[in-house]
Structure 1
Amino acid sequence: MEPLSHLESFVQSAESGSFSAAARRLGLTPAAVSKNVARLEGSLGVRLFQRSTRRLALTETGEAFLRQVSGGLATLQDALASVATVGGQPAGTLKVSMGQAFGRAYVVPLLGEFLARYPAVVPDWHFDNRQVDLIGEGFDAAIGGGIELSPGLVARELARVDVVAVASPRYMAGRASPVHPSDLAALDGIVRRSSPTGRVRSWTLRNSAGDEGAADLRARIVFSDPEAIAQAVRMDLGVALLPMPFAAPGLANGEFVRLLPGWAADMGQLSLYYPSKKLLPAKTRVFVDFMVERFREAGFAARMKGR
């Protein structure tokens, strides 16, 4: 039987179309992936790839071999991961993607307790404000909002997140407080540009009575990062529409004042995503259960409501 690393290198290289992309998925160097594939070809006595300086293409034999091994390899990987333990405890590298500021503020503080409970798990956490391809990039899980639930993924909702209007007490000193979302246009707006679309985000606020109004801020500053927007609010530079994960700390400690109390926009759900597998790795299962439990105990969902 071929070493599992050789088969993994072959399948990942075939699916991604390059040794470099396969190396990123596997946490290896491109040279190591290329060597693994070469050793597999040598032991089989066939050429699996046609190599050139510009592209990597499967031979006819390589295509047939990929069809034969890819499904069995995935099953074998799942089976090995599901029983990976050290001393009966879940073990292995746990690759998770999460937003930069959100991860630092809400997930990293739970790490000590998680490691104390599962010392054989090694967190490999990626802090990046983008939607990752969980399966294609080899992630065990991801935390975020607005992720398309494609086939093969499962979502566990942590909360529905509201967006609210905030400013600093010093900025609002001497200024009239808005009474309707349209009044925000008279103030300096710190607005957010969406990284995926490049457009400035706009929001329609609603209250519990069902009234609604467009919150069209006059853009004084444009940032692409919500934590940077929160910092600008602390610097008394204007008014912002912030998701509750970024607004709640400032509202709790008095750095922010809430404008238009009772008005908010629904940003959607914040969830923990992971691949749907018959044999979910133990390290992933305990991480998901731990995070869902801790967020629930902390009353996170209630804190994310702005109405």
Structure 2
Amino acid sequence: MALSLEQLEAFMAAVETGSFSAAARKLGKAQSSVSGLISNLESDTGLPLFDRSTREPRLTRQGQALMEDIRSVLKSHNHLRYRVSNLTDKVELEIGIAYDNQLISDQQIKHLLRDFEQQFPSTSLVLFHAPQYSAYGFLDEHKVDIAIGLRHPDCAKRFGMTSVGQVQFAKVASTEHPLAAMVELNDQDLLEHRQLKFIDAQASGDNTRLGGDNAWYCNAPDTLLSMLRMGLGWADLPLPWVENELQSGRVVRLQSHHQAISFPHSLDLMWRREGEAGKCQQWLRSRLEAQLTPVYQQQRFQ
């Protein structure tokens, strides 16, 4: 028994449109051609698939039993065609992105995902949250193809990269913290109180070595913010991380002796240099740069 794709497509078109004539219009064929394909399918299977005793053909019990299998075969065939076409056009089968979800908003990611799905419907997408400096670690381990995060000293040597803007840091504390009541702080004032620090579990370097300075370390941004709200210490954090806390009045900027806002850090779009970037990666890099640059260049002057 040899069943052709044309037969299966004619069958499914008749099911979905409700008649042989409508199926013919959908497929761009003559009605006699569609009727012949379905008749041949019935002959090859030895099963009556449509009841033609009424004005419009209706599926028989046997036709209903085969319908989902036929739908599945056609779906798999279309998926195979997409895969072959993508490989020919150098569209990746899978691509991964690591990004700091405390710096890149959910709304920005939603817009990106919606457009990505329309552009590359058959490409698998892998997303990783990578706070602060940890994005480059995902690149290094070949878990992702693109990373967005704060610049690390090793990045420029090892990856292709472009800066999309600047991220300002600020010294902050709960409104109930003793430091919040002080008009101008010096370094000694800060040293006398516990600092809450983000620890980057993915990266290597000084920020992952715990010291004996009574600091508390945490690698979960939400937990660190909870500790900050509880008044358990002060922190030097990216402004986008604490924007909602500052607006709500639960957290305030500390007026330090040097400056309330620390020196800005570069927010980088990074990728591995080896190999040729496929169409999917090229599109993502171009789209991310266009989407993020206006936001973070504006923050530089705030």
Q: TM-score, normalised by structure 2?
A: 0.54
Give me the whole-angstrom Cα distance separating, in 1, the residues matched to 2:140 and 2:194: 42
Q: Residue 165 of structure 1 contacts residue 259 of structure 1 at CA under 8 Å; is this kept in 2?
A: yes
By how many angstroms is 1:164 displaced?
A: 1.3
1:259 equivalent in structure 2:
254
By how many angstroms is 1:278 displaced?
A: 7.7
2:167 equivalent in structure 1:
161
Q: Residue 161 of structure 1 contacts residue 305 of structure 1 at CA under 8 Å; is this kept in 2?
A: no
By how many angstroms is 1:138 displaced?
A: 5.7
1:142–1:230: structure 2 CA closer, same or farther, 3 Å change rule? same
Total equivalences in the alignment: 207
1:191–1:294: structure 2 CA closer, same or farther, 3 Å change rule? same
- Give 1:240-279 correspondences, 5 Å limit: 240-260=235-255, 262-266=259-263, 268-276=265-273, 279=276
- Give 1:112-261 correspondences, 5 Å limit: 112-115=113-116, 117-120=118-121, 121-128=123-130, 130=134, 131-132=136-137, 134=139, 137=142, 139-147=144-152, 148-149=154-155, 153-171=159-177, 175-195=181-201, 196-197=204-205, 198-200=208-210, 219=214, 221-260=216-255
Q: Residue 168 of structure 1 contacts residue 256 of structure 1 at CA under 8 Å; is this kept in 2?
A: yes
Is the radius of gyration larger for structure 1 or structure 2?
2
- Unpaired segments ≥5 residues, structure 1: 1-79, 86-90, 202-216
Q: TM-score, normalised by structure 1?
A: 0.54
Give me the whole-angstrom Cα distance separating, in 2, the residues matched to 1:230 and 1:109: 24
1:255–1:109: structure 2 CA closer, same or farther, 3 Å change rule? farther
SS of the residue corresponding to residue 132 of structure 1 reads: helix
1:4 equivalent in structure 2:
none
1:214 equivalent in structure 2:
none
By how many angstroms is 1:182 displaced?
A: 3.3
Higher strand share: 1
Counterpart code for 2:139: L
SS of the residue corresponding to residue 184 of structure 1 reads: helix
Q: Report the RMSD for the aligned CA atoms in angstroms.
A: 3.8
Give me the whole-angstrom Cα distance separating, in 2, the residues matched to 1:278 and 1:219: 46
Q: Residue 162 of structure 1 contacts residue 267 of structure 1 at CA under 8 Å; is this kept in 2?
A: yes
By how many angstroms is 1:165 displaced?
A: 0.5
Q: Residue 140 of structure 1 contacts residue 284 of structure 1 at CA under 8 Å; is this kept in 2?
A: yes
Give me the whole-angstrom Cα distance separating, in 1, the residues matched to 2:275 and 2:198: 40
Residues 139-174 of structure 1 deviation map (CA, whole Å, 9 limit, x = unaligned): 321112234236673112122333211112233598
* 2:275 corresponds to 1:302: no
Q: Residue 253 of structure 2 contacts residue 260 of structure 2 at CA under 8 Å; is this kept in 1?
A: no
Identical pairs, percent: 14
By how many angstroms is 1:271 displaced?
A: 0.6
Higher helix share: 2
